[in-house]
Structure 1
Amino acid sequence: MKKWLLIPILSVLVLLTGCQKTASKPQIMTTFEPMYEFTKAVVGDKVDVAMIVPANQEVHDYEPSAKQVAQMTDASAIVYNSNDLEKWVPSVKTYATKIEAASAVDQIAGDPHTWISPKQAIKEVKYIQEELSKKFPEYKTDFAKNAEAYLIKLEALDAQFDTLKNAKQKTFITQHEAFSYLARDYDLKEIAVTGIDPDIEPSASALANLKKEMEKAGLKSVYVEENANSKIADTLAKSAGADTLLINTVESLSDAQRKAGDDYISLMQENLKSLQKTIK
């Protein structure tokens, strides 16, 4: 009789053990690629990390789906760049800890493109680590170790960009005003074809003035962005007899880039190589 009683008891124990092994980890929702990468670098495999904005989507105007809002409601934390960029985050009703990475940055009024400067990316990673360590104190040591390893890579990237400070020609012209932090932190001057909002087109007179600025500065190249409409920048380059060079705002990875193993650091290194063609 006792032998038969052991069978259901053992079955229950096996089920309980199985549940413990497959118990889901806490989840952190991140808004777009840099926030995902910075957060993943900090937490490693201790916490699940998901990204809200899909590849090839414009983060400025993105609105999350009802399913994504539900995921954020159930998440332990939401990591986003700033209230100026992901304007919908503050309105999401959730018990999740909201971490605004750019709050650690010396911000330029109205400009959310903090992550494009490695110097500011370093600050954001440190802040994400600090805030997530408060949320998950049991992983504080792991997060610190992971962040330290990633920060070494970011600091090396920062040092590479610092070499631009030695250039004699420091002016570059971009498709839209997304590189102000990069210009400020590395003593460069950005001339933008359009403002912070890339959808607002400049007037004909504004384009004429830009052409004069290009000629005055002796600029022979216009930087255009991958995965973005460059019609206006192409028009300016053609009228000024200039060529176009690629630069990346590192807001997302295409499927091909992800398959090739690209990430924030590799794309920023490509940006540096591209900038070195005109800033020298």
Structure 2
Amino acid sequence: MNVRRLIPAAALAGAVALGATALTACSAGSAGGGKDGKLDVMSSFYPMQFLAEQIGKDHVKVATLTKPGVEPHDLEITPKQTGQLGESDIVLYLKGLQPAVDKAVAQSGVKHVVDAAELTKLEVHGSSGHDHAAEGEEGHDHAHGEAGEDPHVWLDPVKYAEVAKGVGAALEKADPDHAADYRKNTDELLGKLTALDTEFKDGLKNTASKTFITTHSAFGYLAERYGLDQEGISGVDPESEPSPARMKELQAVAKKDNVSTVFFETLASDKTAKTLATDTSLKTDVLDPLEGITDKSQGADYFEVMRSNLKNLQKALGSK
């Protein structure tokens, strides 16, 4: 797929380092060494891909390591993908979410690497003391930073905007010839994210309940931003099985906090959510952690799915 496969990586790195003068030999004076003159961007998963596409627009060619329908936390990288990664002009990823990606990026030798975790402040989230990092389920705490930080920053429009700013600056640096366009596109995106934040703020201001139960604890930032309480059935890994004690605890929470709905998601099994809903006579609905877009998603892109999430939360929480 990569049009620069025949150009040695070392030569490309040298061309980038030489600056705009040497780069005029590449198509249209762009930092992208491809025949089409576009900047080759490799993203780790959908939220990073979306930022690259929105900010880069016609100046970039974006690929992603996590194909639609694949659960990002469990991603294994193929040798072919490792090769594509090494040939990219710029890599966008979120360290601590996908261990296989972290390892591949560290070994890639790509000059422009953007770690979204460094563009905003990561926090530790739990639900009623049910902290991800303290789960004790083997292999699940590896998907966080060392302090058990929550990586799901893109589900908070304000934090996602901070990441967008950093991605825009990185694209400007990697491809200075189109810096003005990247800046304009970044500003447009920030405006849309600000509007989305306002919609969530207004839409969740007055609700009958503040507590929502969801399959995995991806919504800590969103809950904190809009004054809600997240109760995750499992931790960061949506496929992990909760203990019988946790299920009992959630039944009590549902009763106490007037919870009407148990949320499940599109990329993971809904079995546990439906079991809990049946045991507590609750409804089920979708709350999408937006780790990938498929034909089952309630929307075609980040903004559409986030607005579906808002609508589903309003309905479940009894928005007035």
The TM-score by the shorter chain falls in which range?
0.7 to 0.9
- Tell me what 1:3 maps to: none
Q: Which amino acid aligns with 2:289?
A: T
1:31-46 aligned within 5 A: 31-46=44-59
Residues 171 and 189 of structure 1 are in contact (CA less than 8 Å); yes or no, is this contact kept in structure 2? yes
Structure 2 distance, partners of 1:144, 1:275, is 33
- Tell me what 2:103 maps to: 91
- Tell me what 2:172 maps to: 133
- Tell me what 2:189 maps to: 150
Structure 2 distance, partners of 1:141, 1:79, is 20
Structure 1 position 156, deviation (Å): 0.9
Structure 1 position 276, deviation (Å): 0.3
Length-normalised TM-score, structure 1: 0.87
Structure 1 position 237, deviation (Å): 0.7
Structure 1 position 84, deviation (Å): 1.1
- Tell me what 1:190 maps to: 230
- Tell me what 1:13 maps to: none
- Tell me what 1:221 maps to: 261
1:218 is paired with a residue whose SS is coil
- Count residues in correspondence: 259
- Tell me what 1:28 maps to: 41
Structure 1 distance, partners of 2:286, 2:212, is 12
> Where does the alignment leave 5 or more consecutive residues of structure 1 unmatched?
1-18
Structure 1 position 64, deviation (Å): 1.5
Structure 1 position 278, deviation (Å): 2.4
- Tell me what 1:56 maps to: 69
Does structure 1 residue 104 correspond to structure 2 residue 119? Answer: yes
2:59 is paired with a residue whose SS is coil
- Tell me what 1:237 maps to: 277
Residues 31 and 53 of structure 1 are in contact (CA less than 8 Å); yes or no, is this contact kept in structure 2? yes
> Where does the alignment leave 5 or more consecutive residues of structure 2 unmatched?
1-25, 29-33, 125-148
Structure 1 distance, partners of 2:295, 2:231, is 30
Structure 1 distance, partners of 2:64, 2:266, is 21
Structure 1 position 229, deviation (Å): 0.5
Structure 1 distance, partners of 2:171, 2:39, is 12
Structure 1 distance, partners of 2:273, 2:27, is 56
4+ residue runs over 3 A deviation:
19-22, 165-168
Q: Which amino acid aligns with 1:67?
A: K
Provide Cα deviations, 1:73-109, integer angstroms capped at 9, x if missing partner: 01111101x2210223343222322101132222123
Structure 2 distance, partners of 1:242, 1:261, is 25
**Structure (1 or 2) with the larger CA radius of gyration:** 1
Provide Cα deviations, 1:145-203, integer angstroms capped at 9, x if missing partner: 11111221111111101121343521111111110010011111111111112232111
Length-normalised TM-score, structure 2: 0.76
Structure 1 position 228, deviation (Å): 1.6
Give the alignment partner of residue 162 of structure 1, picking from 201, 214, 220: 201
Does structure 1 residue 248 correspond to structure 2 residue 288? Answer: yes
Structure 1 position 20, deviation (Å): 5.4
Does structure 1 residue 264 correspond to structure 2 residue 302? Answer: yes
Q: Which amino acid aligns with 2:210?
A: K
Q: Does 108-117 or 57-66 show the bigger shift?
A: 108-117
Residues 217 and 235 of structure 2 are in contact (CA less than 8 Å); yes or no, is this contact kept in structure 1? yes
Residues 77 and 101 of structure 2 are in contact (CA less than 8 Å); yes or no, is this contact kept in structure 1? no
Residues 209 and 258 of structure 2 are in contact (CA less than 8 Å); yes or no, is this contact kept in structure 1? no
- Cα separation, partners in 2 of 1:256 and 1:182, compared to 1, 3 Å: closer
2:82 is paired with a residue whose SS is helix
RMSD between aligned residues: 1.9
Structure 1 distance, partners of 2:50, 2:102, is 22
Structure 2 distance, partners of 1:197, 1:125, is 25
